A and B are shown apart, each in its own frame.
Chain A
């Protein structure tokens, strides 16, 4: 077993143990907070596959979360499906939407794609309000409540499964193809990698994750309305991604923690401070440390080598 694989596995096992025991030591309220961290982690895993690994910028991932969230909500509220069963369905619907978006999105590169996804995220709440019959319009849909501990274990088991799945996929030739496309599309094409196939696949995979995360959001807040998934969610996901590090799946945990806890703690300074600090952090990270937390880690690692 290679050293890297051993380290990763050991790290994973330790982390899994910590996650498993944590609720014993913290209050129910904190358990909910950490459940949310798990949910953001799932979303970031997907976004990382798309942006970090296949190099496609999406500023609209919140919209795919919304698709997943509304799918679950509609199934639960209108059709009485048991919530946990809706999670994979939400993922599939969102994943399908991702594939559907990914195909025409092939024509858009870099800035244009960022622009288009930004527009989707800004316009989405309006769409949710419009199709009142399904979405409950502004009033939204109300779902069943659960205990915080249950939500915690639900989101983290899914997060763990998602991480393992992600690692698995990226270790296969699919992952290599993603990386090749990100680093140099022209070179990848000449090696016979079809950008159309892999880029669309990346969109599908990442929105699958986003849909699941959105579904978890719906279940954990027990309520969904157009304001549940605003443009700021998409933007904060990008913040979390950048801070955690592009191309680092474990780094996404750092990002998820940031998204969840920064607003709470910075709010001690002032109600608006969190946003200013998030923005400042993002600008600072991009200026000084474009690799994010993972980049910092790699920097430290490489400086230790002789």
Chain B
């Protein structure tokens, strides 16, 4: 029984990481209508930046905050420069564009920092906490905490601030939003900035666990897709719930059914994506889209 709860907690930690990246994907999808295949690479790049800040002697949380700021700015710039020109172009063009960004950013990361695997420090100690006969890692709890705080802050932003309202309006109804004076273009850029920052959170939380290398987030991106699809691509709540659920599910599966251990987790993620898309494409929290003929 103790092992069950240990796996649940560590599953929540992985889940928190998937949820952060999934939420980033959903924010971009809701506002720009684009699935940003480069979201994982952007997160990796940001994490490498964090590594550089740490390497220069800045302590963890200031480096964390600085990285978030830089990632945010990068996301805004990316939307304005690369995504805005292709607004309204066919789906395929934009998909290929974000694939191009994936390739480009991954290449840039390798170019600047090289392909060697690095250690990334964790702000949380790896000592375990004992509750009854179970041992929980402080790091796991810390990861869940950070991810939940990030999500909570974003929720507050969306629900209670003027900008958050503007972003939500621009996402559901850009034409109407313009008529009330919302600068829709900048709202979209804001969405990309927030997503980039969220991705950076995800990257900085996972790097201590899987070690930092340029391909670090490729698998995570797969799980983030699975989480977003599971929750419903249009639903921020769904992305978070989907991510946490997926993390726990994959962990438990891996523990109790050895076929699903290790690398087969990827296949598990794939199975979730395919199953959801085939059975209930709108996900758990999504709305069924009406196809107007």
Contacts and interface: CB of A to CB of B under 8 A. Distances in A.
A283 interface: yes
A280 interface: yes
B146 interface: no
A122 interface: yes
Interface string A268-281: 00101111111111
Interface string A242-254: 1000100000000
A231 B222 CA distance: 12
A114 B95 contact: yes
Most chain A C-beta atoms within 10 Å of own C-beta, residue among B219, B263, B266, B270: B270
A282 B101 CA distance: 8
Nearest to A113: B277
Nearest to A108: B277
A252 to B, nearest CB: 15
Interface string B215-254: 0001101100110010000000000000000000000000
Nearest to A246: B92
Contacts of A186: 293
A126 B111 contact: no
Contacts of A130: 259, 263-264, 267
Contacts of A114: 35, 37, 95
Given A115-B273, A126-B264, A129-B263, A272 B99 contact: no
Most chain A C-beta atoms within 10 Å of own C-beta, residue among B37, B82, B99, B278: B99
Contacts of A111: 35, 91, 95
Interface in A223-279: 231-232, 235-236, 238-239, 242, 246, 270, 272-279
B187 to A, nearest CB: 21
Nearest to A120: B270
Interface stretch (A18-26, A51-59, A141-149, A163-171): A51-59
Interface size grouping (class) on chain A: 35 or more
A116 B277 contact: yes
Most chain A C-beta atoms within 10 Å of own C-beta, residue among B103, B273, B277: B103
Contacts of B152: none
Contacts of B94: 286
A123 B270 CA distance: 7
Contacts of B269: 119, 123
Contacts of B89: 290
A4 interface: no
Contact of A126 (B100, B104, B115, B266): B266
Contacts of B225: 115, 118-119
B96 interface: yes
A279 B222 contact: no
Contacts of A118: 37, 222, 225
A104 B277 CA distance: 9
Contacts of A246: 92
Contact of A55 (B92, B95, B110, B229): B92
A107 interface: yes
A127 interface: yes
Nearest to A114: B95
Given A112-B281, A126-B264, A282 B92 contact: no
A192 interface: no
A186 B273 CA distance: 27
Contact of B99 (A55, A59, A126, A273): A59
Given A116-B273, A119-B222, A270-B111, A286 B103 contact: no
Contact of A108 (B91, B95, B281): B281
Interface in A66-120: 104, 107-108, 110-112, 114-116, 118-120
A235 B102 contact: yes
Interface of A: 51, 55, 57, 59, 104, 107-108, 110-112, 114-116, 118-120, 122-123, 126-127, 129-130, 186, 231-232, 235-236, 238-239, 242, 246, 270, 272-283, 285-287, 290
30 contacts: A51-B92, A57-B95, A59-B95, A59-B99, A108-B277, A111-B91, A112-B281, A114-B37, A118-B222, A119-B270, A119-B274, A122-B219, A122-B222, A123-B222, A123-B270, A126-B266, A130-B267, A231-B218, A236-B103, A238-B96, A275-B103, A275-B110, A276-B107, A276-B108, A277-B107, A286-B86, A286-B96, A287-B85, A287-B86, A290-B93
Q: Which 3 A-B pairs have the closest CB atoms?
A: A279-B104, A275-B107, A282-B100
Interface of B: 35, 37, 82, 85-86, 89, 91-97, 99-108, 110-111, 115, 218-219, 221-222, 225-226, 229, 259, 263-264, 266-267, 269-270, 273-274, 277-278, 281, 293
Given A111-B35, A115-B229, A286-B100, 18 more contacts: A55-B92, A57-B95, A59-B95, A115-B35, A115-B225, A116-B277, A119-B269, A123-B222, A123-B270, A130-B264, A232-B103, A238-B96, A272-B111, A273-B111, A278-B103, A279-B107, A282-B96, A285-B100
